Chains A and B, each alone.
Chain A
Amino acid sequence: DTGVSQDPRHKITKRGQNVTFRCDPISEHNRLYWYRQTLGQGPEFLTYFQNEAQLEKSRLLSDRFSAERPKGSFSTLEIQRTEQGDSAMYLCASSPRETQYFGPGTRLLVL
């Protein structure tokens, strides 16, 4: 399967803990995106990389969130000091141009 992959698929954590998610994009795609989706809503844009450069961050991305894409390959999204409001599905997408292809998502539950 050569699609976007994400790990882990599910994560349960306690409030105040740090969590890190990984995304492996489709190999020839130089653009990578992170989104967050809550129940009954469409995905909300968080941040965007072109190769290893982080070019855009949404105002939704608070100081507790950080994303990296070393060497322009896989990407990680870290949430520090998690809060119950961080519970959501975190989606990664990659694209060669405008059309974005999504991974299966990581579902986070903060207790």
Chain B
Amino acid sequence: EDQVTQSPEALRLQEGESSSLNCSYTVSGLRGLFWYRQDPGKGPEFLFTLYSAGEEKEKERLKATLTKKESFLHITAPKPEDSATYLCAYCEVSGGGADGLTFGKGTHLIIQP
């Protein structure tokens, strides 16, 4: 069964302490791998789309990378405002036009000052 698993479930870091979040996925045909940030009580905010193994994208303190089975979200020198839940999702290649995303449960990140 296709699925996506995120680890760790929760992570507490000191301000400035870099780390990585993991997203493992199993899907027969990957159309896209997505990272979102979600603050409490709000909708997910788009961060990155990755399409093929070896691809990398960066935005401020965040960098997303993709292999054939995993994606990583690297956070460099995080600040307290980076505290949020980070969600990983994929879209599967499908001839039927299905475009719904399959999400992991997320990593709850807390950055302490």
A 2-50 contacts with B by CB, 8 A: 4, 31, 33, 35, 40-45, 48, 50
Does A105 contact B106, Cβ atoms closer than 8 Å? no
Residue-wise interface mask of B (81-113) relative to A, using a CB-CB cutoff of 8 A (1 in contact, 0 not): 000000101010000111111111110000000
Closest to B49 in A: A99
Which of these, A42, A98, A104, contacts B99 with CB under 8 Å?
Answer: A98
Closest to B45 in A: A102
Which of these, B36, B42, B46, B101, contacts A104 with CB under 8 Å?
Answer: B42
Does A105 contact B100, Cβ atoms closer than 8 Å? no
- Residue B72 at the chain A interface, CB threshold 8 Å: no
Chain A residues whose C-beta falls within 8 Å of the C-beta of B54 in the assembled complex: none
Separation in Å of the B84 CB from the closest CB of chain A? 14
Which of these, A41, A42, A50, A102, contacts B43 with CB under 8 Å?
Answer: A102
Q: Interface residue tally of chain B, by bracket? A: 20 to 34
- Residue B61 at the chain A interface, CB threshold 8 Å: no
Chain B residues whose C-beta falls within 8 Å of the C-beta of A43 in the assembled complex: 44, 87, 89, 101, 103
- Residue B68 at the chain A interface, CB threshold 8 Å: no
Chain A residues whose C-beta falls within 8 Å of the C-beta of B104 in the assembled complex: 42
Please report the C-alpha to C-alpha distance between residue A35 and residue B36 in the assembled complex, in whole angstroms. 15
Separation in Å of the A95 CB from the closest CB of chain B? 8
Closest to A101 in B: B46
Does A45 contact B100, Cβ atoms closer than 8 Å? yes
- Residue A100 at the chain B interface, CB threshold 8 Å: yes
Please report the C-alpha to C-alpha distance between residue A48 and residue B97 in the assembled complex, in whole angstroms. 10
Separation in Å of the A94 CB from the closest CB of chain B? 11
Separation in Å of the B103 CB from the closest CB of chain A? 3
Give me the interface of B with A, judged by CB distance under 8 Å: 31-32, 34, 36, 41-46, 49, 87, 89, 91, 96-106
Going nearest first, the 8 A-B pairs with the smallest beta carbon separation are A42-B103, A45-B100, A102-B43, A98-B32, A102-B44, A105-B43, A56-B98, A104-B43
